[in-house]
Every structure is written in structure tokens, then in C-alpha cells.
Amino acid sequence: MIYISEEIKKALKENKPVVALESTIISHGMPYPKNVETALKVEEVIKEQGAVAATIGIIDGVAVIGMSKEQIEQFGQKQGIVKTSRRDLPIVYADKLWGATTVSATMILAHQAGIEVFVTGGIGGVHKGATKTMDISADLIELSKTNVSVVCAGAKAILDLPLTLEYLETMGVPVLGYKTDELPCFYSKSSGLKVDYRVDSPSQIAKIIHEKRINNLSGGILITNPIPDEYSIDHKIIDKIIEEALQEMEEKNIKGKECTPFLLKRITELSGGKSLEANIALVLNNARLGANIAKELTKLK
């Protein structure tokens, strides 16, 4: 049920740095054609840094590790692709569906393929109001058990960030801040919340990942990388927009896996495209860092 492209197979065999990428961000996170442009640009950035990009998604029930440009294009346009987290995987396989993998499912597949570093925009987390709704992303639980480290720009600002940090602590997931003491919050570079540890170089991060592995501490590490200054959106502006989008979500009675895609889309509309621009910039920034961490990791093997 898993197909690894020749390029990725070869790279892994030769201990070349490989970076996993998810496909939900393509199919559910951004509008066409920006989604495809961004996905291809992210792969390019990873190549420029000297690593190999493996975009992951499920096509007709087969998990593809290292999608082709044509396949990425299809993910960007096709309707009805299933947003696939851990719980959805067996159904997508059995019914031979197309599945866009979220952070949790991408981690599982990356691990099965032997890839240790994964780059995304922002992970899912504990949603606002979760004390009532219990809406907690499967991404957090996956981070606690699957040996893949995730580079992101923090948890998405639509979430309850203090609760997300508490949850990660409970689940034993280290949260590192790249060149920052503060947890970045996706569209903005600072949240006022502290990360567990600050790290200042890809080699330092690689050493931490390595130690986690050789000491059999299962699970991932969350590497949070602040959005570049010039794209960071002011809290006062974005928080108001997020509030409005959350209000609409409640009025429309949107629940479960539809929440995040709805919010991202609505925030893009309400911000006049500014949030989408920020989202693209932060993913590219994460790709750069992820590639360099993967490079450093290969030196430790």
C-alpha cells in the first residue's frame, strides 16, 4: 500500500538528506493555483539547500512517497480528496480513495519510508473551546509516538496556544524555538508564550533528534520557526479576523475536520489575501530550515 519513488529510494539508501512534505496543505489549506505553486516552490527550496523533497499523499489507495509534479498538480485541483489523518488511513486504503495526508498521517508514512524530518506550515493543536468540544488535533498525539520531527511556524493562530503547549508537555513532545525563546504563532512571529528550549543552529537540532533516537525515546520533536519579519502580521489585526472567522464557524455549525480548512479559507478572504501570503512565506522559510536539519542528521548516521 506504499510506493516510494525511485529518487527517494535512492536518496535514502545513500544516506542523502530527505525532507517529507504533506498534501493537506495543498488540497485543503490553500486555494488553486497558489497551492500548487507553493508546493512546487517548497520542493525547489529544499533542493536548493541540497536535500531531497518527498511530498506525500494517497492516490487510489496507494500511499505515494515522493509525488511527481503532475501528481502535485492533481492534488491541487481535484475535488473530493479525503483529508486523511491517522484514523482515516484504513478507509482510504480499503476504498482506494485519494487522500490528502495531514501532519499525523504524513508522519506515519514518512516513518514507514524511513524519513525523519518533515516540513509543514503550522501543526494542528487544541482548538479554542476544546474544554467543551474536545477538538484536539490528532497531530499532537502523533507527535508523541511517531519518530518524525516536524518543522513548523508554531501551532496555527486559530488554536488555543497555551492549551496546545500544555498538551504537548503532557504527551512528552519537546518544543524547540529556532532562534527564539517565544512560541511563534503562524501568521505572527511572537505569541508571548515561552518555548521549552531555544536552539540556534540546524546542527544543534540534529543532535537533539539524534539523542532522542539513540535513547529510544519514541515520538517526534516540534521545531518552531518564526515567520520572517516582513511577513509577520500584527496581532491586533489578525486576532480580530480570527475571532470573526470563529464566530462564523459556530453560526454555520462547522465541526470536526472541516474546521481548520474553513478557518484558513475565511481568514484569507477577510485579510484580503494577506494571511495566504504569510502562510506561503512561512512554509518556504520552514523548508529552508528543514533541509538543513536533514543535512546535519545525515552526518550523525
The residues that are catalytic are 22, 156
Using the rule CB under 6 A, is 29 a contact of ligand PSU?
yes
Our CB check for Mn ion shows the closer of 205 and 267 to be 267
Our CB check for Mn ion shows the closer of 120 and 180 to be 120
Instruction: Report the alpha-carbon distance of residue 230 to residue 207 in Å, rounded.
Output: 30
Please give the distance of CA 299 from its chain centroid, rounded to a whole number.
Answer: 24
Residue of the chain from 38, 74, 120, 149 that contacts ligand PSU (CB under 6 A)? 120
Using the rule CB under 6 A, is 22 a contact of ligand PSU?
yes
Q: Which does 188 bind (CB under 5 to 8 A by kind): Mn ion, ligand PSU, none?
A: none
How many CA atoms lie less than 13 Å away from 292 in the CB half-sphere?
A: 15
Using the rule CB under 6 A, is 260 a contact of ligand PSU?
yes
Q: Could you tell me which of 118, 146, 115, 117 has the C-alpha nearest to residue 8?
A: 115
Residue of the chain from 122, 219, 220, 226 that contacts ligand PSU (CB under 6 A)? 122
Give DSSP secondary structure letters for 238-273: HHHHHHHHHHHHHHTT--GGGHHHHHHHHHHHHTTT
Q: Which stretch binds ligand PSU (CB under 6 A): 1-9, 135-143, 223-231, 268-276?
A: 135-143
Q: Which does 279 bind (CB under 5 to 8 A by kind): ligand PSU, Mn ion, none?
A: ligand PSU
Number of residues engaging ligand PSU in binding (CB under 6 A): 18
| 72 sits in which H/E element | helix 69-77
Using the rule CB under 6 A, is 160 a contact of ligand PSU?
no
Instruction: Report the alpha-carbon distance of residue 146 to residue 141 in Å, rounded.
Output: 9
Instruction: Report the alpha-carbon distance of residue 178 to residue 161 in Å, rounded.
Output: 18
| CB 83, CB 91: distance < 8 Å | no
* 3-class SS of residue 10: helix
Using the rule CB under 6 A, is 24 a contact of ligand PSU?
yes
Instruction: Report the alpha-carbon distance of residue 245 to residue 127 in Å, rounded.
Output: 13
Minimum CB–partner distance for residue 207 and ligand PSU (Å)? 26
**CA-angle at 147, arms to 47 and 222, nearest 5°:** 70
Using the rule CB under 6 A, is 57 a contact of ligand PSU?
no
Each residue 69-108 as x (binds ligand PSU by CB under 6 A) or -, in order, gives ---------------------------------xx-----
Using the rule CB under 6 A, is 290 a contact of ligand PSU?
no
Write out the residues near ligand PSU by the rule CB under 6 A. 22, 24-25, 28-29, 102-103, 120-122, 124, 137-139, 257, 260, 264, 279
